[in-house]
A and B are shown apart, each in its own frame.
Chain A
Amino acid sequence: MSSPGEPAARAVSTAVDALAYPAIYTRTAIALHWLVALLIACGFSLGTYMVDLHISPRKLRLYSYHKWIGITVLALVLIRLVWRLTHKPPPEVPMPNWQLRSARATHYLLYALMIVTPLCGWLYSSASGYPVVYLKMWQLPDLVHKNPALAKVLVQIHGFLAWSIFWIVLLHVAAALKHHLVDRDDTLRRMLAWRRS
C-alpha cells in the first residue's frame, strides 16, 4: 500500500509541525518558570534561615518578606497552570519511557507542591494569629481562626512540604543537567531558548 511519496510527505509534515509547534516553550512559560524558580530559591533559603533567629525586628521583617514571596509564588503558579493548560508545550524530547514517566510525575508533584506549600504557610499564618499583609498593603483573609495547637501542626507540615520541594527540585535540576550535558539533547534548551513564541 505504501507509495514512494510517503516518507517525503511525512518529512514535510514534520517540518510543518515544527513550525506550528516550536520545539521550545513559549516565552511566557519560560519567564514564569525561571521567575518562580528564583522566588522558590529565595523563599526557601529565607525560610530555613529565619526560623532559628532570635526574635528581633529583623526577624519579623524577614517573616513578612517570606510570606510575600510565598503568596507571589502561589499566584504565579496558578497563572502558570492556566497558561500550561491553554498552550501546547513543545513535543517530548525522545528518551526512554521510564524517563518520560518520571519527568511527568516530577512535574505534577512540583505543581502540586508549589500550590500546597504556600497555602499551608498561609494557613499557618492565620492559625498563629499573624495574618498575611501582602506587600504591607493588602491584608489577606484568614483561612482559619487563631488556633495555637493547629498552628504547631501546620508549621511542621509547611516545613516538610518545603523540604520536599527542595529534594524534588534537586532531582529536577539533576535530570535537566544530565540531559543537557550527558545526553546532549534539547530538554534544557527548550526552557532556555528565548525565541519568538
Chain B
Amino acid sequence: MQATFPTPILSAAALLIALAAAAAAAAVAAGSTNIDPAKSTLMVTFRQENVPVDAPFKRFSGHIDYDPALPGASKAALEITTASLDLGSEDYNSEVRKKDWLDSGSFPTATFISTAIKPGAAGHIDATGVLTLKGKTQTLTLPVAVGKAGTATSFDGELTILRSYFGIGDKEWNDVLDDKVRVRFHIVE
C-alpha cells in the first residue's frame, strides 16, 4: 500500500537515479566506445608446480575513450566479473570463487579505472590506473600497445600482480602456486 503513495523523498531518489543513468549514458555516448566482448580477451596465467596455466575471464565490460590525436586525454574503465574466471573445470572454477580466493560472493567485480594516460613509446600509450580487486586497490602503470583490429582499435598489454597483495589464495597453496600472476589483455573497442 505504501508504494502507491509516492513521497517527495522517493520521487527525488527516482529523479537522481534517472539523472545518474542519463549522465552515464551520455558519458558512453560522448566519444567513449564500449569494448567488444566477443573480440576482447582477458587472460590470467598462474603457475602451479611451475606449470603455466591460462585461464580467461569470460565476462568483462567497459569503455575506452581514445583519440590518437590526443592520447593524453584518453580514459579507460574496465569491469570484470570475478566469477567468470575459467580454469578449465567446474571443480576449480567453484573453488576459485570461494572466500579464500576471489570471493566472488562479496566482490562480484574487479575494476580498472585509468587515472592518467600519456603517450608512450612508438605505438604505445602509458596507462596509469587503479586496479580494485577483492576490496584492495593498487595503482599500476603499464605500457599498452595500440593497434588496429579491422576498423576498430585494439589495446594490448600485460601486467603481473601478486596474489598475496590482494589476499587471494589459501595459504596452504603457497607451496605449489606462484605468488605472481600474469594478466594479459587484448581489448578491441
Contacts and interface: CB of A to CB of B under 8 A. Distances in A.
Contacts of A132: 51
Q: Is the interface of A mostly helix, strand, loop or mixed?
A: loop
Contacts of B173: 57
Interface stretch (A38-46, A81-89, A93-101, A123-131): A123-131
A139 B53 CA distance: 12
Interface stretch (B2-10, B88-96, B124-132, B138-146): B88-96
A55 B95 contact: yes
Contact of A60 (B52, B54, B88, B176): B176
Given A129-B54, A133-B50, A139-B52, A61 B176 contact: yes
Contacts of B51: 64, 130-133, 139
A91 interface: no
Please classify how large the interface on chain A is, using the bins under 10, 10 to 19, 20 to 34, 35 or more.
10 to 19
Contact of B176 (A57, A130, A146, A148): A57
A133 B49 contact: yes
B172 A129 contact: no
B49 A148 contact: no
A61 B54 contact: no
Interface string A122-150: 00000011111100110100000010100
B50 A60 contact: no
Contacts of A139: 51-52
B50 A129 contact: no
Given A60-B176, A129-B54, A146-B54, A55 B92 contact: yes
Contact of B50 (A56, A128, A136): A136
B54 A64 contact: no
A55 B49 contact: no
A56 B95 CA distance: 10
Nearest to A56: B172
B49 A61 contact: yes
A64 B49 contact: yes
Contact of A57 (B53, B54, B88, B175): B175
Nearest to A57: B176
Interface of A: 55-57, 60-61, 64, 128-133, 136-137, 139, 146, 148, 151
Given A128-B89, A129-B54, A133-B49, 13 more contacts: A56-B172, A57-B172, A60-B49, A60-B176, A61-B49, A64-B51, A128-B88, A129-B53, A130-B51, A131-B52, A132-B51, A146-B54, A146-B88
7 contacts: A57-B172, A57-B173, A61-B49, A129-B53, A132-B51, A133-B50, A148-B88
